[in-house]
Each structure stands twice: as structure tokens, then as C-alpha cells.
Amino acid sequence: MRYVYLVLFAIVLGLPFAVRHVAMRGQTIATEESNSLRLIIVTVHNGDIRREFARAFDAWHRSHFGTGVVLDYRVPGGTSDMVHFLQGRPTDPQIVWGGGDYTYYHDLQPLGLLQPMHLDPRLLEAAFPQDTLAGVHLYDGTKDSRGTSTPQWVGVALSSFGVVYNPQLYQTLGLSTPAAWADLANPKLFSLVALADPAHSGSAAVAYMMVIQRAMADGEADFFKRNPQLKALAKSDLRKRPDYQAAIASGWKRGMGQLLLIAANARYFTDSSEVVPTDVGRGEAAAGMAIDFYARVTEETVGPDRARYIAPYASTAITPDGVAILGHVSGPQLELATQFVEFLLTPEGQRLWILKAGVPGGPVERSLRRMPIRRDVYTDQSGWADHFNPFEEAGGFNQRGEWMALLSDTRPIWDAAWIDSRDALLDSYAKILKVPDEQRRAELLRQLADVPITMREVEDRRTERLRLEAAHADVNLWSAQQRILWGGRFRAHYAAVAKNAM
Amino acid sequence: MTSIEQEPLLATMLPRRAKRARNAPRPALVHSILAGCLYVFFAVFLIWPILQIVRTGFTRPNGALTSEYFLLIFKDAVLVRGLLNAAAIAIGVTLLTLIISLPLAILSVRYTFPGRGLLNGLLLVPLVLPPFVGAIGMQIVLGRYGPLTQLVGGGPMGIDWIGKYRAAGVVIIEALHLYPVMLLNLQAALANLDPAMEQAAANLGAGRWTIFRRITLPMIRPGLFAGCTLVLIWSFTELGTPLMFGFYTVTPVQVFEQITEVAGNPVPYALVVVLLLASSLLYLIGKVVLGRGFDATTTKASVAAGSIRLRGWKAALAAGAFGLVFLLAVVPHVSVILTSFSVTGSWYKTFLPAHFTLDHYRQALTDPLALPSVRNSLEYAAWATAVALVVGFAAAVVIVRSTIRSRWLIDALCMLPLAVPGLVLSFGYLSISIWLVKLWPVKFHHPAPLFLNVQEWPVLMLVLAYAARRLPYVVRAAAAGLQQTPRDLELAASNLGASRFTVLRRITLPLILANLIAGALLAFAFAMLEVSDSLILAQRMDYYPITKAILDLSQRLGDGLYIASALGVWAMVLLTLTILGANALLGKKIGAVFRL
């Protein structure tokens, strides 16, 4: 009798494997029998994307070349896991697929992991009538000796970062639909904004940087309004002008202040950016900053009355999500890999990202709800799961490389100001919100947003960090010490404003 | 013979044992060899990881010694607050478990009432259910529009339980998970209490409260100390629950975040050293407050205490108290079960899910992360159990059967993993691996073998970490079995010419088989549930064990939480069967396995 539990234990243990074995038996045989070619792909894409593209590419290859292809995926984890995996220079995968332009430019290309791709020039031209979207390159600009484009990676989809909000909660709170980043600083959203920790989420960090860049761009626009004659000046000459620098720096400071007020509304700073739309959909948070398709997938899961996505007009980064062929691939495998990349750039491959599930040419199980990168596919949006056009939404604005350089050194300052000093920030913010006089309250909020740091200091930090890195000094220790110093400075600032509010 | 299952570990460290050992005959060669092997095992897998952390936390990248990282922690207001928060949580959890367990312990030891046996057994169930799976459930129960809000009726904005009571949530979840540890220790202490003392006090006219305060409480101090220490250190270093609740300003989470943030950062190692020191400090404070001047002999009952039979409403009240605690403890788990069966997003603004489905189980079977993680966990846990079984049996033989003087040290070393935070050990393994991988090419001119590189192939390190962490259960179970097996049987076989191996195979092993299976089951169950080791050591997705997969899935978009719940439910069923199986095999002695 007492061994009954052991038997039950064994049954429960084996059950999932037995069920899976029975359930999967038919499927495996079908694919094994009918396919002879195999392409190994390292990817960060989720299961839905992997399944749908495997199915679609297999069908496409059959109709064009007469043979089916099995896509054999390797999924090491997130983007940094993927880079780490590829650093070990595995010899079996042929393709790397997924990850932003930053990953390709800063991680994979410098490591020499990729090879120049010889894609059909007509396809490349049709897919990318312009190389850039509001200044951001959509594919790598490598060219061979004859001037033919041989990119080491190409973008195949676009990602943006925007606001995900819960319309039900917004209605309850009496708030109108958010339209700009600044709307998240509304004191009514106190403790209701879900944010990701910039130290853990690279995409969130880029989004925070965009809030600042928008303010910097406004500063620049103001400068040109005052000095229209300088608009024609070369960038390098402009940068030498102290008045131009001052305008940009004041924009930077305004952006930091705006972010600080959003951070004061934060419910938490999660290390997983996927938690943000989930919590908005569950009604735990009213709004958050999220990647477009995370938000759209949540919308599909819980319904549009509980989660909606908007990209703030002309103030979000819209960046390409890439694909590349690994350096060691050659012969027939190279041909197959090139066919896969070309498929992703065809109108069929592009529409798969956005068509509703079940629509002809669309995904079979679930819509993927990501933005295609080909401008021409946006002209006919019939059967689409979402309707938008990033080429218009960008509003001529996108991230700027030279301003992006400050990101690495701004991140620890956000940590010090928002996360390390969170209690002091909340204490000060709560005191301000209790001030009955509206004007005085607005003045105190302005004081709070007047951050105790300048752009110059961040630039100096960058210079110092690069110097220490070059000298192989203990940068970790230095960073930790700096962070403590900044934390102290911000806490003093919050305490001073709190005192004024008393 | 002193029975280990009746006495806490500290009793084995008392001087009287050493004195007796001095008069004992010379230890057998086999025992000496076994003891030697055990010392090597402990040195490599227990002591080295701890020393390695201390080293890393005090060494600059260029190899020079420094105390700067260590001192930095105390200059950093946030890290200091993390320590204070962790300590506050630990104290809160300990007090709450005490409040829950003390009345229950008295009720179950001093009184009988219908259903006592079953209710007492059920109380152990929360122990084998992973607390962080409970945290998933609790997030739903405590959601702004979750069942609790529906029960008490919130306004249009609902009630923000988690936002307002984050720390309290962590304390309650951990207390509801850990009270069985306290309960088992208190029950043992109360059962061992000599009723003559209390009777004498009563004869001298002392009231019930006076007797409790002046006689009972002081005499159960060893059990109180063991229970409090275990709960205090466990909750002080708990990683999974605060992580799930998004409570980041506690030291274990800070360590975890820092290690995932920057590779090669020595600050988290220094932080782990602080954690270890703080744990030791808590242990010492507990010892000073509760363990001072106690001698196990005085707590040993000379007469068995008769229990009072409760009837009518009194019996119902007693059973009700047990039932209530059990129900509270399984609320999160019930919520996980309901989640696993509810249609995605359909549990919103309702007390129960609006629509049910089996779909998440189907997805769990086909998800590329879910089922492989189950297979990984089974593989790691099976190997870890095998290692723990061999080492644990050897240790039990040395502790119970040998006359080696230092056997108390082996006993203490076996129990050390209970007192050393899981986070510390797993960090130690990680640190050793990184160090070896760096050192290997310098010394041997080729890359380190794969099994040493935890970032590429964490299997070996995971198995060893699981085995070391769960060794105490196997040792306790095996020792209990050996003590019940009369030595005479083994001696008789030897006299008849049987070799040592034959005696082991034909006499000892069959007689303690049930104990070994029970110990193995528990070691296996806890290895399947291990959180700290898994989160820190399994850094590659294809090697994720089930706990890391559940954490990962629960944060995934769409139906991730639901698939995680389905996985959690499967784990719960498996582990409940495990504890019931172990309970059936060990009978009343199951409690001994969880004692310090």
C-alpha cells in the first residue's frame, strides 16, 4: 500500500512525455518525410514568429524551387544571450535573425561574425527605395569594389517604442487618450505607470533616451527659429557654436526633467520589459512604456478595452530588426541562406508580419502584429491586423546617432536618480501633490523637474569612462562609486524641493 | 542510544558527546576512509565555494587584494536599505511563523481531536510547494481587480494590494510557506518535554500562563532556536518570492540583479559576503537569546505526556484552527490551479475565472521551453539525488555506526547547507567556474573542459549544487533508519562469516530501504524546486530547469503566465505525491528530516 504513492509518482512523472509523444507522432513524420533541405537559424524571435515563418518559407521554397525546407531554430534567449552564443562561433547555424540595428552594428559586425550578402539588386532596390527612415539606416551600407550593395545585415521588420495604456482605467481616472510622452507625467497617474529598469532593458533605455532626444530636437528647433540664417551651417560648424550647444543642453535638461516626473509616477522598474504591457492589461498599471508588438500582442490577448498602443507622434525611435548570414557559410548552404533572406524581403514575407491570422497569405495560428520594413507594402492594408504607417508616424524624427552616444553614461544616472533614490523622490512628489494651490503646485513640480545635473557632466563622465577603460582601470568600482555620488546629489535635490512644499 | 530524530543538531555538538567518544574503541578502517572521503567532499563542494566568494569579493580585476568593494556596500544607501529590508522581512516572517505554529504545536502535542492525524499531515504540504509559484498565485489573488478585491468590494479603481502592501505580501507568503519548519521543531521540543516539571509547577500553585512562561517556554528553547534559526536564515536569503512580487530593495534580489547586469562585477560577491556574515550574526543572536545554557538531557522526557481528549465545540475549534491555517497556506496554490485552467485574460474583475480551458496544458506540452525544462530538471534532480544518496548514506554510517571522534563535525557539516543561504553556495560555484575557466588556459595552454564552464554547460555544477543543498534530508532519513536497525543483526551476520559488503547488501540496506527511498524522494523533490541555484547557475535557455522556466514563462507576454501555472500545477501534484510517499514510508519520523 505504501508504495502506491511511488507508482502514482512515476505516472505523474511520465505523463507529459507520454502525451507529448502521442500528440507529436503524426507531425514529425510528416515534416521529416517531405523535406530534404535544412536551414539552421539562431534567433531571438518568439514561438509564433518562428512557426509562421517556418511554414511560409517552406511553402514559398516549394513553389519557387520545388523543394521544401525545414527551419531548424536555435534560441539561446534574449539578444545578449544570442550574442554570447554567437561569440562561441558555433559552426552549425547559417543565419542570425532578430535583434535591433544596435546589436548588428555594435556586437555582431565588429566581431567579424557576418559576411557580405549578395542579394538580388532589384529586390534590394524595391524593398529599400530609401536607405534610411528619418535618419536611421534600414540596412548595412557595405558595398563591394564595383559599388554594388553587399550589406552584412538587412532590416526585415520595424520596431517602435510607445505608450501602452488601459482605456478602462483611463476612463475611470477621467483622462483622455495619451498622445505624447509628457502625458505619462500627469500626477493623476501616480503609482500607475509601469516602467522597465533601464539597466536591464536596452529597449526601454532607448525609449527613455527618445524622450530626451525629442526635447533636444525642440531645443534645436527653437535655436533655428531664433537664428534662421544658421540653418544652412554644416553640423560640425554648428557644434562649435556655444549658443547652439547651450540650446541643445537646455533641451537635454528639460527632457531629463520630463522623464523624472514620469519616473515619479512609476509603479516599479521591472527588469523584464514584457511585464509592462501584461500589467497594463491586468489593470495593475494604467499605462506604461512598451515595444509596439509587445503592446499589440497584449491587446490581442486581453482585448482593446484593456490594452491599447500608441506611438507618440514624432518622438519615438523606429528601428530595424535585422537578419544576416554567418561568416563561415558557403556553397549550397549559402544559396539557401540567401534565399531565406530574400524571402523575408519579398512582399509575401513582409505581409506575414502584419496580416490577420487566417487571411490568405497571412499567419495560420496567430497574427504576429509587427511592422514590415518595406515602404510599398503599407499602401494596401487590407486584411491587416493593425493599421499604421511608421514612415508617416516618424514625423521626420528618429534617434540621432551622435546624441545616442550619451546613452551608456545616462543609464547609471537614471538608476541613481529614480531607483536608488526612489523613496526620497516619492516622498517629495507626494508632498508636492498635497499642496492645495494649483499654481504653487505647478511651480514645485517645475522645481522638482529641474534636475541637479547638466549634459556637460554626462559628456565629462563619458570622457572619463573611456579614459579609464583605455587604461584598464577598475571601471566597475569607479561606476559604483559614481552612482553613489549621484544618488546622494539627487536625494539632496528631492529633500530641498520637499522642504519648499512644506 | 541518543536518537538523532528526537534531538536537534545542537545536541550532537555538546561536550558530553565528545567525552563519550574519548572512551570509545578505535574506529574501523572503513569508517576512517569514509570520513576522509566525506571531509574531501565537504571541503570541495561546501567550503571552497564559500571561500571563493570571499576571495572574489576582496580581489581587484588585476588580482590585488582590496576591501573597497566590501566597504562600498556600507556607503551605498540603497544596498544598506536592502540589508535592512531583508532583515525586517526575515524577522517578520519568523514572528509570523511563530504566531501560527506555537498554538498549533501545543494543540497537536497536548490534545487529541478527530482528524488530528490528517490535519497534521496536511500542514506539511505547503513546505514542498515552491513559494515563488505561490507568489504567482498571490499576484492574481491580490490583483487590483482580483478575487480579494471582489470579496471585500473595491471602488472603480479597485484596490492596489500589491502596490500598497508589497513587503507585507512577501512576509505573508514566506510565512505560510515556512511555518511547517517551525511547527515540526516546536512539536518535537514539546513532545520531549518532561510533564513532571509542569505538574510540579501546577502543584506549587502556578497558573497556566505562569507555567507556560516560566516552565514550558524555557524548556522548549532548543526547538524554538532551531525553528527560528532555520526560518530566519531561509527568509533572510529568499530570492524567488520578493523577485516575483517586484520587491527589489532586498539584498538577495540586489545580488541577483547585479550579477545579471554586469559580467565580472565583484560588488555582488562582496554583497554575498555581507549576506553570509549577516546570516551568521542572526544565527548567533538566536543562539544567545534562545540557545543559551541549554542542555539536551534536561529536555528529555522521562514519562510520556498523556494528551487530553477534546470533544464537542472544543474539538471543532482545534480542528478549525488547523484547517484554517492549511486553507490560508494553499490559497496561492489554488489560485495557480485556477489560473492554469482559465481562458487567457478571463480572470478580470471576477471572483473566479469567467471561462475555463485545457489549452494551457496542451501548450505546456509543445512549448519549446516548458517540457524541455521538465526533462532537464528531472535529469539534474535524479543525478543530484544519486549523489546525495551515496554521500548521505556514507555520512549516516559514520555518524551513527562509527566511533570516530570527529563524527559530530561530519554531522554538523552535513547540516551546514541548511544554515548557509542557497544564494551563497550557488554564487560560490559560479565564482569557482569563472575562476577556473580563466585560469585553465594560462596553466594548461588549452581552454577549460566544458564541464567546468558553467556558462556553457551548467549541468555538473547544478547537479552538485542540488546534491549539496539537499544532503541534510538524506542524512537525517538514513541516520534515523540506521538507529532503528539493531546493530546486533549486522554483528550476527559478520560472525557467521559475511563480508562487510554482504552485510551491507543483505542486512543493512534492505532494513533501511524505506528510509533511503523517503530521503531520496525528499531530496529529489527539493532539487526539482530549487530556485537560487537554478536562477544563478542555469544561464543558457536550453539548460533551464523547471523553476527558471516557470519564472521566465510567467513574465512572457500573452499566455506565458498561464503556461507557467500549468507547469506549476504539474510540479505541485508531483511534489505532493512525493511528500505523501515519503510520509507513508517514514511514518511519524517525517518530521525528523526537516529538523536542524
| CA-angle at A468, arms to A464 and A470, nearest 5° | 115
Q: Is the pLDDT of residue B298 over 50?
A: no
Q: How far is CA A185 from its chain centroid?
A: 21
Tell me if A12 and B257 make a contact (CB, 8 A cut-off): no
Per-residue pLDDT, averaged over B267-271, amounts to 85
What would the pLDDT profile of B242-256 be if each residue is shown by its tens digit?
Answer: 877 778 789 988 887
Q: What is the pLDDT of residues B476-517, one digit of tens each?
A: 878 877 877 778 888 888 888 888 888 888 888 888 887 788
Q: Tell me, what's the pLDDT at B304?
A: 53
Reduce the DSSP state of residue A134 to 3 states and report it.
Answer: coil
Interface A-B: count of C-beta contacts within 8 A: 158
Count of CB atoms situated within 10 Å of the CB of A495: 13
Q: Is the dihedral of CA A289, A294, A296, A298 positive or negative?
A: negative
Give the span between the Cα atoms of A148 and B92, in whole angstroms: 69
Half-sphere exposure of B95 (CA within 13 A, CB side): 8
Supply the pLDDT for residue B448: 81
User: What local confidence, expressed as pLDDT, does residue A395 receive?
Assistant: 67
Q: Do B581 and A9 touch (CB under 8 A)?
A: yes
- The region of weakest confidence among A182-196, B189-203, B331-345 is B189-203
**For chain B, how many residues are written?**
596
CB contact under 8 A, B345 and A16: no
Q: What is the DSSP secondary structure assignment for residue B421, as one 8-state letter?
A: -
74-113 of B, contacting A, C-beta below 8 A = 75-78, 81
Could you say which DSSP state residue B504 is in? I
Spell out which residues of chain B touch residue A200, defining contact as CB-CB under 8 Å.
257, 260-261
* Residues B78, A306: C-beta atoms closer than 8 Å: no
Residues B567 and B374: beta-carbon distance below 8 Å: yes
* A172/B375 CB distance under 8 A: no
Fill in the amino acid letter for B120: N
Q: Return phi, psi of residue A474, to 5°.
A: -80, 80
* pLDDT one-digit tens code per residue, B4-45: 333 333 333 333 333 444 455 667 788 899 999 999 999 998
* Res A344: pLDDT: 97
Strand pairing report for A69-74 and A37-43 = parallel
Please identify among residues 529-558 of chain B the ones whose CB lies closer than 8 Å to any CB of chain A.
539-542, 555-558
Q: What CA–CA distance (Å, rounded) separates B62 from B426?
A: 24
Q: CB-based contacts of B143: which residues, under 8 Å, 6+ apart? A: A282, A283, A284, B149, B158, B161, B162
pLDDT per residue, tens digit, chain A (502 aa), is: 567 877 888 888 888 888 877 766 655 434 444 556 889 999 888 778 888 999 999 999 999 999 999 888 887 666 766 777 787 777 778 999 998 887 898 788 888 899 999 999 999 999 999 888 877 889 998 888 888 899 999 999 998 889 999 999 999 999 999 999 999 999 999 999 999 888 777 778 888 998 999 999 999 999 999 999 988 888 888 888 999 999 999 999 999 999 999 999 999 888 777 889 989 998 999 999 998 888 988 988 888 999 999 988 878 878 899 999 999 999 999 999 999 999 999 999 999 999 999 999 999 888 888 999 999 999 999 999 888 888 887 666 767 778 888 888 898 899 899 988 888 999 999 999 999 999 999 999 999 999 999 999 999 999 999 999 888 888 888 888 898 899 999 999 999 999 998 8
With contacts defined as CB-CB under 8 Å, which chain B residues touch A476?
Answer: 61, 262, 264-267
SS3 B71: helix
Buried b (16+ CB within 10 A) or exposed e, A283-304: bbbbbbbbbbbbbbbbbbbbee
The answer, yes or no, to whether residue B88 has pLDDT greater than 50, is yes
The reported pLDDT for the residue numbered B282 is 78
Given a contact cutoff of 8 angstroms between Cβ atoms, the answer to whether A152 and A140 are in contact is yes
DSSP for residue B46: I
Q: Give the pLDDT of residue B21.
A: 43
Q: Mapped to the 3 state alphabet, what secondary structure does A152-192 carry?
A: CCEEEEEEEEEEEECHHHHHHHCCCCCCCHHHHHCHHHCCC
How many residues does the structure list for chain A?
A: 502
A9, A81, A484 member nearest B578 (Cβ):
A9
B147: left (phi over 0), alpha (psi -120 to 50) or beta: alpha
How much of chain B exceeds pLDDT 70, in percent? 88
| pLDDT, mean over chain B | 81
CA distance B298 to chain A (A): 37
Query: Residue B434: what pLDDT?
Result: 80
Give start and end residues of each alpha helix (H) in A283-352. Answer: 292-302, 331-345, 347-352
pLDDT(B419) > 70:
no
DSSP secondary-structure letter at A143? B
**Measured between CB atoms, which of B265, B514, B570 is closest to A476?**
B265
Predicted local confidence at residue A375, as pLDDT: 92
The SS3 call for residue A371 is strand
- For residue A273, with 0-12 CB atoms within 10 Å meaning exposed, 13-18 middle and 19 or more buried, which class applies? buried
Reply yes or no on whether the pLDDT at B264 is more than 70.
no
SS3 call for A421: coil
What pLDDT score was predicted for residue B10?
33
Q: Do the chains contact at B76 and A480, CB–CB below 8 Å? A: yes
Min Cα–Cα distance to chain B from A274, Å: 6
Q: How high is the pLDDT of residue A493?
A: 97
Element counts in chain B: helices (H) and strands (E): 33, 2
Q: Which of B250, B539, B557 to probe the A interface (max A CBs under 10 A)?
A: B557
Model confidence pLDDT, tens digit, residues B541-572: 778 898 888 887 887 777 888 888 999 998 88
What is the structure's pLDDT at B293? 45
Q: Residue B314 is placed in which grid cell?
A: 472544543
pLDDT of B182 over the 50 cut: yes
Task: Looking at B4-146, list the stretches that DSSP marks H as alpha helix, in order from N- to C-terminal side.
Answer: 9-12, 15-23, 29-42, 48-57, 68-75, 77-110, 116-122, 125-128, 131-141
Quick one: pLDDT at residue B157? 83
